[in-house]
Amino acid sequence: MSDQELARAAELISGAEALLVCAGAGFGVDSGLPDFRGDEGFWRAYPPYERLGLSFTEAADPIHFAEDPAFAWGFYGHRLQMYRRTVPHRGFELLRSWGAATEHGARVFTSNVDGHFQRAGFEHVAECHGSIHHLQCLEPCTDDVWPADDVSVDVDTDTMRAREPLPSCPNCGGMARPNILMFGDWSWVPQPSEARLGELTAWRRDLRASRLVVVELGAGTAIPSVRRHAELASAGSGALVRINPREPEIRHGRGVSLPMPALEALESIEKLL
Ligand SMILES: NC(=O)c1ccc[n+]([C@@H]2O[C@H](COP(=O)([O-])OP(=O)(O)OC[C@H]3O[C@@H](n4cnc5c(N)ncnc54)[C@H](O)[C@@H]3O)[C@@H](O)[C@H]2O)c1
Ligand SMILES: [Zn+2]
């Protein structure tokens, strides 16, 4: 990767009139979070599941909430604690300041459920897979979604099982679960996520001829929702900066591709602004 590519990225960003940040799990890696890439990455983060021989998709399956809630809440309760404990890295603040310097500000589209953009001070965050900081009924008996702020789940990290009491639905008293879109998930309550996505679409429509620059970070190819969103949002202009150490190629062939870790890339760009 050449200095020339970094300079092109800095030029795009300094000429932006609006900034769209698109982020996948790789953006949290520099805060110390695992990205769950492949069984090995998942097992390094969660050795107990390696002993059980379970992949990420098997551990994360919503069926466990009905069949073995202590096991289901073991995984999600542990993640809730991990995302609460982890402090978002400085790259969040750099992006926020770049966005604040543009005429129309910054918006975020992310598949991350960790709530770190909000913690870093972003006001407009569209979470396409929901948020671990909100709960819903397992049934669900209503479309209600409520904050998990008062919830703390006690997890035995040897067995990855949660101890009673487990979170319950205030309406029907049944089991509660995180408002996250899981694999093969038919009972996710999508309204909060859809509302934020609708606001993002309206914002983009109102931008009209303004120079929108898309900065995409840590988005993988396995579940390409974030990559697709970033490529479509930059299809007309080519104004895409893709930051990804292992999967940097851009399908529409334009834009700037930076094969490096997100924080290092953002700090290098900051020096050129
Ligand atoms: N923090 C979270 O909320 C979190 C964490 C893990 C998984 N998930 C969920 O799991 C799914 C995983 O899909 P995904 O595409 O987001 O992740 P992924 O794990 O499939 O891919 C991560 C990508 O990040 C890149 N990457 C690794 N280290 C990086 C770094 N330091 N800087 C920049 N990029 C780096 C990798 O090359 C890869 O392309 C998503 O649906 C997401 O909801 C969420
Ligand atoms: Zn209920």
Here the CATH number for the domain that contains residue 92 is: 3.40.50.1220
Which ligand is nearest to the Cα of residue 263, counting in written order? 1
pLDDT attached to residue 45: 86
Number of domains in the chain: 1
Distance CA 39, CA 77 (A): 20
* Cβ contacts of 179 within 8 Å, gap of 6 or more: 130, 131, 134, 135, 136, 145, 188, 189, 192
pLDDT attached to residue 35: 83
The residue whose CB lies within 8 Å of the most ligand 1 atoms, and thus the one to mutate among 1, 27, 33, 35, is 35
Per-residue CA distances from 94 to 110, 196, 240 (Å) = 17, 23, 17
Report residues near ion ligand 2: CB below 5 Å.
137, 141, 169, 171-172, 174
26 touches 217 (CB < 8 A): yes
Rounded to the nearest angstrom, the distance between the alpha carbon of 116 and the centre of ligand 2 is 28
Domain hosting residue 103, numbered range: 3-272
Burial 127-138 (b: 16+ CB within 10 A, else e): bbbbbbbbbbbb
pLDDT attached to residue 65: 97
Rounded to the nearest angstrom, the distance between the alpha carbon of 192 and the centre of ligand 1 is 22
Helix (H, G, I), strand (E, B) or coil at 87: coil
pLDDT attached to residue 209: 85
pLDDT attached to residue 1: 58
Rounded to the nearest angstrom, the distance between the alpha carbon of 150 and the centre of ligand 1 is 27
| Cα 191 from chain centroid (whole Å) | 17
DSSP-derived pairing of the beta strands 18-23 and 106-110: parallel
Sign for the pseudo-dihedral over CA of 7, 10, 16, 20: positive
Which ligand is nearest to the Cα of residue 136, counting in written order? 2
Tokens matching residue 142: 């209503």
pTM over 0.75: yes
Return the residue whose CA atom lies nearest to atom 18 of ligand 1: 220
pLDDT attached to residue 251: 86
Rounded to the nearest angstrom, the distance between the alpha carbon of 24 and the centre of ligand 1 is 5
List pocket residues of ligand 1, CB cut-off 6 Å. Answer: 24-30, 33, 35-37, 111-114, 129, 217-220, 222-223, 226, 243-247, 261-262
Per-position DSSP letters for 194-227, written without gaps between them: HHHHHHHHHHHHHHTTS-EEEEEES--SSSTHHH
pLDDT attached to residue 252: 85
Distance CA 257, CA 185 (A): 34
Smallest CA-to-CA distance from 33 within 226, 196, 263 is with 263
> What is the position in ligand 1's atom list of the atom closest to the CA of 83?
1
Largest CA distance in the chain: 59
> What is the position in ligand 1's atom list of the atom closest to the CA of 262?
32
| 130-137: strand order across its sheet | 145-147, 130-137, 176-180
pLDDT tens over the chain, length 273 residues: 579 999 999 999 999 999 999 999 999 999 999 887 777 888 888 888 999 899 998 999 999 999 999 999 999 999 999 999 999 999 999 999 999 999 999 999 999 999 999 999 999 999 999 999 999 999 999 999 999 999 999 999 899 999 999 999 999 999 999 999 999 999 999 999 999 999 999 999 999 889 999 999 999 998 899 999 999 999 999 999 999 999 999 988 899 999 999 999 999 999 999
